[in-house]
Amino acid sequence: MTGRHLLDIASLAPGEAEALIGRAVALAGGAAPRRLDGEVAQLFWEPSTRTRVSFELAARRVGLHSITVDPDRSSSVKGETVDDTVGTLAAMGIAALVVRHAEAGIPERAAAVLAASGVAVINAGDGTHAHPSQALLDAATLLEEGIDWPTARIVLLGDLRHSRVARSAFALYRRLGVGELRMAGPPELLPDPGDPAFAEVRRYDDPDAALDGVDVVGCLRIQRERIDALDLPDVATYHASWGLTAARAERLSPGVRVLHPGPVNRGIELDPEVADGPRSRILHQVRMGVFLRMAVYERALAAFDR
């Protein structure tokens, strides 16, 4: 049986994104998972807690045996290539391979190497390219709360230029027909104007203007070294200028939801009071991540009804 890859949002056929999101919400509501057979290998060349553990838990809940491969303790440290690593795992009979890598395009390359094997490749984040399951679980989190896509206004705030989460999120939100998409961040951290990943997204150079009238605020993680490269004196200034401070959150409408893919840099992207407050859906995202990835396995291993 040939598995189906999940490489990015574009790799989903019409209707599949909506089906995955709906299935995740159904599983979160108590629907019985489909029972699958076989082994799945978790191959994380990049550190992760939420994504890796949720893929492992999801595999267990649908009946798969999950094997975690630590590249730091594998033949990768001896010079084994990505092609050889994934080929070796396929030869051992795995049904699916979950791949996370700091270099963009590695999951797609793995899928090409394994084209004749029938092994499904699932992208768990590659470079600045894509993080499709994060986008899908964010959408499922919002759908569970009854969001109306055509009237929704969603803003992503922070480091847009380097964010695979943002690229996948906007690709998905466009597909879902979200009413208005916005982004705001320091000029140095906004994407090039012609970047197609950010087509139809309104750019703001003022975070307060970007937040006006929105229904959802997605805060993006920023690496500290990128803050150091900005024309700002310190981290506190970045937070005051571009973070979702408690004062900014107070000015939001009562029903606005706050998302963050994690891990949160408290006091940088988000004020701790906001991260732990009633607007925050961060732990809801973590919970939904397991159910969404269960649905991803169902689709990948051909037991998924659209």
Average pLDDT over residues 248-276: 95
Q: Does the pLDDT value for residue 135 go beyond 70?
A: yes
Residue 31 DSSP symbol: P
Phi/psi zone of residue 93: left (φ > 0), alpha (ψ -120 to 50 degrees), beta?
left
pLDDT for position 223: 76
User: How many Cα atoms within 13 Å fall on the side-chain side of residue 47?
Assistant: 2
Average pLDDT over residues 183-194: 92
CATH homologous superfamily of 146-280: Aspartate/ornithine carbamoyltransferase (3.40.50.1370)
Q: Where are the domains of the chain?
A: 9-131+287-300, 146-280
CATH code reported for the domain at 9-131+287-300:
3.40.50.1370
Angstrom CA distances, 175 to 130, 154, 158, 168, 231, stand at: 15, 14, 23, 11, 36
Q: Does the pLDDT value for residue 74 go beyond 90?
A: no
With beta carbons less than 8 A apart as the criterion, state whether 201 and 170 touch. yes
Query: For the segment 269-298, what is each residue's pLDDT rounded down to a tens digit?
Result: 999 999 999 999 999 999 999 999 999 999
The per-residue pLDDT of the chain, averaged, comes to 92
pLDDT for position 39: 96
**Same fold: 9-131+287-300 with 146-280:** yes
User: pLDDT above 70 covers what percent of the chain?
Assistant: 92
Phi/psi zone of residue 213: left (φ > 0), alpha (ψ -120 to 50 degrees), beta?
left
